[in-house]
Amino acid sequence: MYKYIIRRILIFIPMLFALSVVVFALSKAAPGDPFTTMLDPNIDRSVFEERKEALGLNDPIPVQYFRWVSSAVQGDFGESIVYNQRPVMDLIKVRFWNTIYLGIVALFFTLIVAIPIGIYSARNPYSLLDYGATGFSFLGLAIPNFFFGLLAIYFLSIQFGWFPAQGTVSGTDVSGLEEFIDRIHHMILPGITLGLAGTATYMRYMRSEVLDVLGSDYIRTAKAKGMSDRNVLYKHTLRNALIPIITLMGFEFGVLIGGAVITEQVFNYPGLGTLFLDAIINRDYPIVMALALIFGIFILVGNLLADIFYSVVDPRIRYD
Amino acid sequence: MDVKDLKTYFYLDDQKVARAVDDVDLTVNAGETVALVGESGSGKSITSLSIMQLINKPGKIVDGTISLLGQNLLNLSDKQMTKVRGNDVAMIFQEPMTALNPVYTIGNQISEVLRKHKKMNKKQARRRAIELLKMVGFPRAEDTFDEYPHQLSGGMRQRAMIAIAISCEPKLLIADEPTTALDVTIQAQIIDLMNEMKEKLDMALLLITHDLGVVAEYADRVLVMYGGQIVEEAPKKRLFKESKHPYTSGLMESLPSIYKEEERLGTIRGTVPPAHSFPKGCRFSSRCPHAMDQCFESNPDLIQLDHEHSVRCYLYTDE
Ligand SMILES: Nc1ncnc2c1ncn2[C@@H]1O[C@H](COP(=O)(O)OP(=O)(O)OP(=O)(O)O)[C@@H](O)[C@H]1O
Ligand code: SF4
Ligand SMILES: [Mg+2]
């Protein structure tokens, strides 16, 4: 198994390299250069040329690439063009954990809702709750993220006032446990909004997987051995039913990041998603490149974790 | 074990009722091997799953008694029944490739039975499981204990299934076509092994099979099943020598014989009618070469020819 994991991690390195090349190439292919937005007709073009020369923008592409990568590896993504030339890394640092926490809340919500309901539906197919869950899934998949977010804000925060409608904290005067609870309170609506589509999908997957496993020969064997219902469900069924779910979880990382861009915007939540959208609108290339690289890494890490976890729960793939 | 008037019906979507097992009486005495034979779809598997009470919806045991050592299993609660399964009655299935859970080791899957029924701790269960693996023919039992099902061949998996089944020394072992899915060369080994275990542990064996050769070699008594009912019951020797029911005779003729030189083997024309639409009279009447008027009117009862031979056919009623 360790061999498998090590091999899997080694594959990660060339993929990371490929990712950086793609991100870099896209930024080069995009029209204009960092000065396009600074264009001041009173400055002579030759000044820009000098600046470009000084920044190394006239060097051969591979040289530029290696310069970018080697500073990126050290956490230096250059300076933002729009945000007062602040280092990109500083801007990202502030928002990075906000997005991670939001993702965790969304994933947590997805799992605690989708898995138990999926199991219940499979064990009681065509029951009232099963039909209800099916209906919910279709709605959850059909309603776009941002629309659900707006509905949630309108009803749950404006009408009923149960949840704050935006931001991450109420004020700066809270600390400790109080602050923690306040932050969680702020993350519930965006978290649920972000996790909604995933919840709907995983509920369906879980239902069909459990249904599949319950009908399998080895479950009949387990029952024929006299195993209790609890044991049949928790030991023999769940582990098998979760194998495909775990693989999908890896991809969920990427889906969540994509969703975060929109959800954060709706809730005015200061995360990487809002930063990304702003940067694109402002053509703030250093930020766009840094975030594209980070999002790509999220997805690669998600897949890596899924593969490793997969090899832990499914003995069949360790030796293949 | 005594099964009386067992009826297991499937309630299908369109109001139809599939009478997969209909009034089956079946006795297996201590230490005896009883063979249950019959074509595909005759209700053999459903009979055995009914005994284990492993019938899933839309199926239901509608009537009957299943007594094991004087206790009617059908009166037990679900929880009490889990103490019988795997402990007093164990079962081996047809498909060794899928019968073991792919994500747990062989050892784990044997140990859990011992821990449940024999209340062994982890260490005792491990020791006993390794003994069992040796008994069923794993030379490197210690290693096999930690191996996963996908590392074993079909025959080996069936051996592991046998180890699981005999782990609590059940009084009755039910084997539902345990060799059908295996290579011919391995089939004999598995049957031999089961028979050896049966002798060693003094179990009764209910052997479901298509293979009349196996019946001839190992069975004490034979029950022939057709359309969810027993159509003939006799000790093995008498059944092979003097089968009475036209269906049994048909089965016999489909066997190659070393004594007779035949151009071609006999076959029974047609197939078993589906369990939701049996003919009105004798269930075999649609295929029977001897069918008479009476046969299309009503279904014959199972009548006793003598103390050990019974048959369900109008050819043998007195009137
Ligand atoms: N889930 C089900 N729903 C409806 N009918 C069923 C179901 N399972 C079994 N039956 C019916 O029960 C009858 C007996 O099936 P069974 O599996 O016992 O046959 P069998 O004798 O074991 O055949 P084989 O030799 O192929 O294993 C079949 O004809 C089928 O119509
Ligand atoms: S009762 Fe009639 S149809 Fe049925 S087996 Fe006997 S002869 Fe054939
Ligand atoms: Mg069968």
pLDDT tens-digit readout, B267-314 = 777 777 888 888 888 999 888 888 888 889 889 999 888 888 999 999
pLDDT tens digits, one per residue of B79-94: 999 999 999 999 999 9
Position in ligand 1 atom list of the atom nearest CA B272: 29
Residue A300: its H or E element: helix A285-313
Question: Residue B154: which region, alpha, beta or left (left: phi > 0; alpha: psi -120 to 50)?
Answer: alpha
Burial of B257 (0-12, 13-18, 19+ CB in 10 A): exposed
Q: Which residue reads 């782990």 in tokens?
A: B167
Confidence category of residue B54, pLDDT binned at 50, 70, 90: very high
Q: Say if residues B152 and B106 touch (Cβ distance below 8 Å).
A: yes
Hey, where are the domains in chain A? 2-73, 89-313
**What's the confidence (pLDDT) of residue B127?**
96
Contacts for B64-67 with beta carbons within 8 Å, 24 or more apart? Answer: B64/B3, B64/B4, B64/B5, B64/B6, B64/B7, B64/B24, B65/B2, B65/B3, B65/B4, B65/B5, B65/B6, B66/B1, B66/B2, B66/B3, B66/B4, B66/B6, B67/B1, B67/B2, B67/B3, B67/B4
Confidence category of residue B231, pLDDT binned at 50, 70, 90: very high
**What's the confidence (pLDDT) of residue A90?**
87
DSSP lists the bridge partners of residue B91 as: B174
Q: Is B36 in the pocket of ligand 2 (CB under 6 A)?
A: no
Least confidently predicted of A19-23, A129-133, B51-55, B272-276: B272-276
Q: Which residues in chain A touch residue B78, judged by CB atoms under 8 angstroms apart?
A: 229
Please say whether the dihedral angle defined by the alpha carbons of residues B135, B138, B139 and B145, taken in this order, is positive or negative: negative
Distance, CA B165 to ligand 1 centroid (Å)?
Answer: 23
Average pLDDT over residues A44-58: 73
Q: Are strands B33-37 and B221-226 parallel, antiparallel or unpaired?
A: parallel
Contacting residues for A96 by C-beta, under 8 A, at least 6 apart: A272, A294
CA neighbor of B99 nearest in space, from B170, B48, B154, B143: B154
Average pLDDT over residues B96-109: 95
Contacting residues for A148 by C-beta, under 8 A, at least 6 apart: A193, A196
Distance, CA B315 to ligand 2 centroid (Å)?
Answer: 7
For the ranges A95-104, A171-180, B134-143, B294-303, the maximum mean pLDDT occurs at B134-143
The residue contributing the CA closest to ligand 1 atom 10 is B20
Q: What is the DSSP letter of B64?
A: E
The tokens describing B310, both together, are 């019974």
pTM of the model: 0.85
How is domain B2-272+299-316 classified at the CATH fold level?
Rossmann fold (3.40.50)
Q: Which residues of B touch A (CB under 8 A)?
A: 52, 54, 78-79, 82-87, 90-91, 93, 95, 98-105, 112-113, 116-117, 148, 150-151, 161, 164
Q: Say if residues B50 and B66 touch (Cβ distance below 8 Å).
A: yes
Average pLDDT over residues B103-131: 96
> Interior CA angle at A23 toward A19 and A27, to 5°?
165
Q: Which residue reads 């595909």 in tokens?
A: B40
**What's the confidence (pLDDT) of residue B210?**
85
Average pLDDT over residues A113-136: 93
pLDDT greater than 90 at residue A170: no
Cα separation of A185 and A183, whole Å? 5
pLDDT greater than 70 at residue B264: no
A residues 194..223 contacting B (CB < 8 A): 216-218, 220-223
Task: Give the relative orientation of helices A88-123 and A176-214 as an angle to the nearest 10 degrees.
Answer: 40
| Substitution candidate for ligand 1 out of B11, B13, B40 with most atoms within 8 A of CB | B40
Question: Residue A85: which region, alpha, beta or left (left: phi > 0; alpha: psi -120 to 50)?
Answer: left
Q: What ipTM is given for this predicted complex?
A: 0.91
Task: Decide which of 1.10.10.10, 1.10.275.10, 3.20.19.10, 1.10.3720.10 is the CATH code for A89-313.
Answer: 1.10.3720.10
Confidence category of residue B263, pLDDT binned at 50, 70, 90: low
Cα separation of B232 and B240, whole Å? 12
Which CA distances in Å does B251 have to A251, B213, B244, B304?
57, 12, 12, 21
Q: Is A93 on the interface with B (CB under 8 A)?
A: no
pLDDT tens digits, one per residue of A10-38: 888 899 999 999 988 888 877 666 566 56
Cα separation of B2 and B68, whole Å? 6
Residues in chain A: 320
Burial of B295 (0-12, 13-18, 19+ CB in 10 A): buried
pLDDT greater than 90 at residue A53: no
Burial of A157 (0-12, 13-18, 19+ CB in 10 A): middle
**What's the confidence (pLDDT) of residue A218?**
96
Residues in chain B: 319
Q: What is the DSSP letter of B290?
A: T
Residue A237: its H or E element: none
The residue contributing the CA closest to ligand 2 atom 1 is B313
Question: Residue B45: which region, alpha, beta or left (left: phi > 0; alpha: psi -120 to 50)?
Answer: alpha
pLDDT greater than 70 at residue B99: yes
Q: Are strands B59-68 and B2-11 parallel, antiparallel or unpaired?
A: antiparallel
The distance in angstroms from the start CA to the end CA of chain B is 34
Q: Say if residues A193 and A267 touch (Cβ distance below 8 Å).
A: yes
Confidence category of residue B265, pLDDT binned at 50, 70, 90: low
Q: Say if residues A104 and A112 touch (Cβ distance below 8 Å).
A: no
Q: Say if residues B6 and B66 touch (Cβ distance below 8 Å).
A: yes
Confidence category of residue B66, pLDDT binned at 50, 70, 90: very high
A residues 286..315 contacting B (CB < 8 A): 313-315
Three state DSSP letters for A35-77: CHHHCCCCCCHHHHHHHHHHHCCCCCHHHHHHHHHHHHHCCCC
The distance in angstroms from the start CA to the end CA of chain A is 10
CA neighbor of A316 nearest in space, from B152, B194, B308, B288: B152
Q: Say if residues A199 and A106 touch (Cβ distance below 8 Å).
A: no
Q: What is the DSSP letter of A162?
A: -
Cα separation of B39 and B25, whole Å? 18
The CA R_g of chain B, rounded to the nearest whole Å, is 21
Task: Give the relative orientation of helices B106-117 and B154-166 as an angle to the nearest 10 degrees.
Answer: 10
**What's the confidence (pLDDT) of residue A236?**
95
